[in-house]
Amino acid sequence: MHNVADHQNKNKICLVTGAAGFIGSHLVRCLLGAGHRVTGIDSFTDYYDPKIKWNNIADLLQHPQFDLIEDDLIEALESLPQAVNWVFHQAAQAGVRASWGKEFEIYTRQNILATQRLLEWARMNKPERFVYASSSSVYGDVEKLPMHEDDALKPLSPYGVSKLAAENLCTLYYKNFAVPTVSLRYFTVYGPGQRPDMAFSRFIRAILTEGELVIYGSGDQTRDFTYVNDIVSANLAAASRPQAVGRVYNLGGGSRISVNEVLSILADLTGRPVKVKYGDVQEGDPLHTFADTTRAKDELGFCPQIEIEEGLKLMCESMQSRAER
């Protein structure tokens, strides 16, 4: 894939929102490794234990090229460095299942309003690139697979609606004010450090502790699982390739398998029995996802490196060693 350390892309000043989260912390680590300067913002909300996020970036806090702003994104905009080359907007209130009911207010503020305010900031401060982390949830349940960027977008959850609204704002600011936005639609990202509420984290934790794991639905639902390092590489390509400006890309790992198949791989990897309890299908969860990544391949050089078996093995090893520590 595209080498970020190309001569013309050295020593960029980067802003990463959601810098202590699962994907954000991997991205920050990669940017620092490539010689860039990074300002990270994170509000350390309690959607899951903030200690996990502090652990994600513990080794980065001493890095001379990294500054962390611990604040709400909207409040933090006043204190941002003005000369920023690349913006990576990873921050969002996550979770399909939690987005119904009264909680939606949090999603409108953190996912829609915060994105609009950050775009206004970008309009004034003119970064070279503004990369937005969108989601496959903008598609909803589709009639044909794989999902293509130009398909109709019909989110199934309030979370999906909020991610699509923010993606639409990015397009508007590009078309009206030439803010150089790129939107990346992530398909089920996994890997070491994955959020504790996400499926693979829950599955592996249950298996390692010999507990029971709950599957929503029959387990026949399929997902296009994407390893976190492949997502990070695509972010760097989206920031540095001229043809990416104003575009939207699907990022899928090309590993579309069912939840039951995942459990069978995990049983093989861990050599442990898997105790499964099947529960009700959750509102807002599509039955299948599968990304057409032709555009990302052609324009970003996106080529996922990690197959599902290898990715799950790395994730199991990471969670096992954390548990032992």
Active site residues: 159
Q: Verify cis geometry, omega within 30 degrees of 0, for the bond prior to 158.
A: no
- Cα angle value 9/130/110 (rounded, 5°): 140
> Distance between terminal CA atoms of the chain?
34
CA 315 to chain centre: 16
The DSSP secondary-structure symbol of 152 reads -
The DSSP secondary-structure symbol of 86 reads E
What token pair was written down for 183?
A: 């939107």
Cβ atoms < 10 Å from Cβ of 1: 15
H-only helix segments in the chain: 22-33, 50-57, 73-76, 104-107, 114-125, 158-177, 199-208, 228-240, 259-270, 294-300, 308-324
Residue with tokens 């923010």: 166
Q: What is d(CA 310, CA 227) in angstroms, rounded to the nearest whole number?
A: 10
Q: What is d(CA 165, CA 138) in angstroms, rounded to the nearest whole number?
A: 9
Interacting residues of 170 by C-beta distance below 8 A, sequence separation 6+: 115, 119, 130, 132, 179, 181, 183
Cβ atoms < 10 Å from Cβ of 310: 12
Count the alpha carbons within 13 Å of 89 in the hemisphere toward its beta carbon.
Answer: 36
Q: Of all helices (H) and strands (E), which one includes residue 226? A: strand 222-227
